[in-house]
Amino acid sequence: MKVLITLDIPQTGIDLLTQAGLEVVIWKHEDPMTEEVLIQQTQGCQALLCTGVDRINRTFLEACPQLKILSQYGAGYDNIMVPIANELGILVANAP
């Protein structure tokens, strides 16, 4: 399973993911991704760890049908269209 992380998280978190057998891809740029770049970078990923600046809307969710789970790094997930994700069978979580 491949996971895209849209921010540079602590190494401990990356280690946990790789020890669980996940292939980890990290967006290391200071600027957040545009919707187009986020869609492009998420292709081939089954998991996404995003932040509140990432807009997870219908366009994104429908363009990434291989996603199985997405998680918000931080409390809440107001930027994620949870009902649409649920409709598409994508699990939504957060990691406060």
pLDDT digits (tens, 9 = 90+) for 37-70: 999 999 999 999 999 999 999 999 999 999 999 9
Mean pLDDT over the full length of the chain: 94
- DSSP tag of 67: -
Q: What pLDDT does residue 71 have?
A: 95
- DSSP tag of 75: S
Contact 74, 95 (CB under 8 A): yes
- DSSP tag of 20: T
Q: What does the pLDDT average to over 17-42?
A: 95
Is pLDDT above 90 for 6? yes
Q: What does the pLDDT average to over 22-46?
A: 95
Alpha-carbon dihedral angle through residues 22, 23, 24, 27, given to the nearest 10 degrees: -150
Q: What is the pTM of this model?
A: 0.92
HSE-up (13 A, CA, CB side) for residue 72: 18
Local confidence band at 76 (pLDDT 50, 70, 90 cut-offs): confident
**Nearest to 1, CA basis, from 56, 49, 39, 58:** 49
